[in-house]
Structure 1
Amino acid sequence: MSGGLSVPHHVIIQALLSRGPLKEKDLHSMFEDLTKKNPGTDRRLFDAFILAMNKALTFANFELRGCIDQYDGQVYYGIVNTVSDEQSKLGTKYTVPQIAFYKAIIEAIVQDATADGFISSIGALNLNLESQVTLVTDSESQGSQPHVPHALKNFGLTQKQNTLRELARDLWLDMPADGNVRLGVKSFLDLRSWFRSNDVPSCHVCNEAGIKAELCKNENCTVRIHHYCLKQIFSQIKAAKACPSCGTSWPFAVPKAEAVETEDDTGPRQSQRATGSKGKRRRANTIVEDDGVGCSNQHELNGPTESQHDNGRAQTRTRSRSTLEADTVGPDASQSSSGVSDLRRITRKYSGRT
């Protein structure tokens, strides 16, 4: 896996594996520390640097992906497993009841017609796990009956509370101070294909799953749009604040600072901006590959049941993907810092954090 990778590549991979998903600004800061290049002005070099890592990670069935956290609108990068077989499932530390509980929470959140993107902690603790079991045919009775494993029957309140804390600590879920349970950044990284195969309604603007989104005020319209996508399409002062599908008025107030900045932006300056949601989606989707479901814990998302994806009912969709520039390679160790001592300092700085 290490063939062709420089020390800076290894440092970033180690940081992503040990610390988990990183915000884009943190990854950019690491890249700049290690290579002395600005990822904003040297975008082709940064893309080639990431591409080199992804090519190497492919040999170990891993992938560096980008996603947008729908709650804070920030771009995150993380390494996920791309294999969905029985062997990869052995690598998860979660038990069958814990996985069933996680799946029940995810389903409750994504099936919420209001697209609020959360479930109350009390609601999560009261979820019935028996819905997460497979149906088995009983020859002595009519039809199919659910076979409930003993472990699920005895998965009580205390175990659920402990599992919530563990899933939040591992970034699969997020538990803010308001007492609600939301998806964690790892879920956004890993479940992209699962969202599609399970027909989770998508955002009208970016076509990604609309887990946390705003709905059109017209009850007969099914349009939902992420808040950061709304900021993008309504950012122009003269832009009509209306549903792009049915034309119903869409209440949306652009913050004054953003409105002034957008009005003043012209020509080259506007094209160089990288803070809008359109730029974020482009940067995130540049590295995202969705030819399979994510990490081993996500493969276990289906737990004791078989998902639509595993049953072959997943819908195959052709999606445009950004092409990374491959005519440049990442800098080698001698180019990445001003000296050996500098490189060792940076390596300790990022590899040693937990």
Structure 2
Amino acid sequence: MTSSYANAHRLFLQASMSERFFTETKAIEMYKKAYLANNVRRPTETFQEFIASINQKLNTIDMEIRKSHDETDGTPVWALVNTNGDEISKLVTEYTAVEISYFKHLIELIVTADYEEFSVSSITALREASKLKTSITKSAAESLLQKFVEDKWLILSKNGKYSLSQRAILELQVYLKETYEDNLIECTLCYDIITKGQRCDVQQCKSRFHHHCSRNYFASQTEKVCPSCKIAWKESNVIGEDNNNKSKGGSSRRKNKRATAVTREGDEEEEEEEEIEEVVAEEEDERDY
């Protein structure tokens, strides 16, 4: 049961607006400090009740403090989010209209990637900048991509691929679901959006698990089999950019519904890496390209 909205709630909300995205450990620390700042040693509400009281207020302005879990390790995370479909315009106010347009293009490339890889290579991301109505130079695109990573909207892997961060998935959830309903997939166990995880070895089977959901589920099972089709579950069948098992239309991986019909050649990754190196070299030699 929620209590009246008080100064402690206001302080927590102010901190949430500043942090935007934070772990549950940080959230509980903020919750305790909000009470202490008002000379209240023992909170009058549990943490869950406290959040519910704040959300009751926020719901009137289409906002919410929402919980999720890191896709890989399962760490509980929280974010202050908009609950309507115009989230990108409202959340990414520190970017220009052109930069937001670029971000949207990157989201589309990531979400519609082939074989449920949910990532885009660095070279493709840079090329996309030149396709905008108001194009962005390569050097500007590099800087912007770095900022997207620093602001925790994107993740850059060691393989040089960009994917959506947990912040992006959590804060842009409504936008993603409304825009890419036919492309997104959900974890069979927790029903949250999944862009990094594991999939059943059977092409037609729809079972998909986050890595942490998989660990938790199979820890309580006597057999490590798919809950849907009962075939042996293989952790090596992964969803996301860490998937190096490039299938050329084989049985272990299906293409995304909006993916291109042309199958990529096996040596394309090597070519892209060479192009990335060339782009970086160009930028170092001629920063005003």
Report the residue type matching 2:103 in the other structure.
Answer: Y
- Shift, 1:20, TM fit: 2.4
- Pairing 1:209–2:210 present: no
- Pairing 1:19–2:2 present: no
1:53 aligns to what? 54
Change (3 A) 1:129 1:234: farther
Equivalent in 227, 238, 241 of residue 224 of structure 2: 241
Report the residue type matching 2:196 in the other structure.
Answer: K
What SS does the aligned partner of 1:26 have?
helix
Report the residue type matching 1:203 in the other structure.
Answer: C
Report the residue type matching 2:22 in the other structure.
Answer: L
**1:120–1:179 CA contact under 8 A, matched in 2:** yes
**1:115–1:215 CA contact under 8 A, matched in 2:** no
Question: Matches of 2:130 and 2:189 in 1, distance apart?
Answer: 35
TM-score by length of 1: 0.55
TM-score by length of 2: 0.66
Change (3 A) 1:16 1:239: same
2:126 aligns to what? 125
**Count of residue pairs brought into register by the alignment:** 225
Change (3 A) 1:85 1:99: closer
- Shift, 1:50, TM fit: 0.8
**2:120–2:163 CA contact under 8 A, matched in 1:** yes
What SS does the aligned partner of 1:67 have?
strand
What SS does the aligned partner of 2:64 have?
strand
Which consecutive residues of structure 1, in runs of 5 or more, have no partner in the other structure? Answer: 131-147, 254-354
1:251 aligns to what? 234
1:218 aligns to what? 202
What SS does the aligned partner of 2:128 have?
coil
- Which deviates more from structure 2 when the two are superposed, residues 108-117 or residues 47-56? 108-117
1:96 aligns to what? 97
Question: Matches of 2:170 and 2:65 in 1, distance apart?
Answer: 10
**2:196–2:210 CA contact under 8 A, matched in 1:** yes
Deviations for 1:92-130, whole angstroms, at most 9, x for unmatched residues?
232333222212222222223444443332232233774
Change (3 A) 1:6 1:19: same
1:7 aligns to what? 7
Change (3 A) 1:126 1:228: same
- Pairing 1:162–2:143 present: yes
- Shift, 1:249, TM fit: 0.6
Change (3 A) 1:184 1:85: closer
Change (3 A) 1:212 1:125: same
- Shift, 1:187, TM fit: 0.9
Deviations for 1:213-248, whole angstroms, at most 9, x for unmatched residues?
212112332322111111121012x52111111111
Question: Matches of 2:177 and 2:62 in 1, distance apart?
Answer: 21
Which consecutive residues of structure 2, in runs of 5 or more, have no partner in the other structure? Answer: 36-40, 237-289
What SS does the aligned partner of 1:127 have?
helix
Question: Matches of 2:176 and 2:72 in 1, distance apart?
Answer: 17
What SS does the aligned partner of 2:46 have?
helix
Question: Matches of 2:128 and 2:27 in 1, distance apart?
Answer: 37
Cα RMSD after superposing both structures: 3.1
Report the residue type matching 1:8 in the other structure.
Answer: A
- Shift, 1:30, TM fit: 2.8
1:301 aligns to what? none
- Pairing 1:182–2:163 present: yes
Change (3 A) 1:184 1:213: same
- Shift, 1:12, TM fit: 1.6
Question: Matches of 1:195 and 1:10 in 2, distance apart?
Answer: 29
What SS does the aligned partner of 1:106 have?
helix
Change (3 A) 1:113 1:216: farther
**1:213–1:225 CA contact under 8 A, matched in 2:** yes
- Shift, 1:23, TM fit: 0.1
Question: Matches of 1:7 and 1:103 in 2, distance apart?
Answer: 37
Question: Matches of 1:167 and 1:67 in 2, distance apart?
Answer: 20
- Shift, 1:165, TM fit: 1.8
- Shift, 1:48, TM fit: 1.7
- Shift, 1:14, TM fit: 1.7
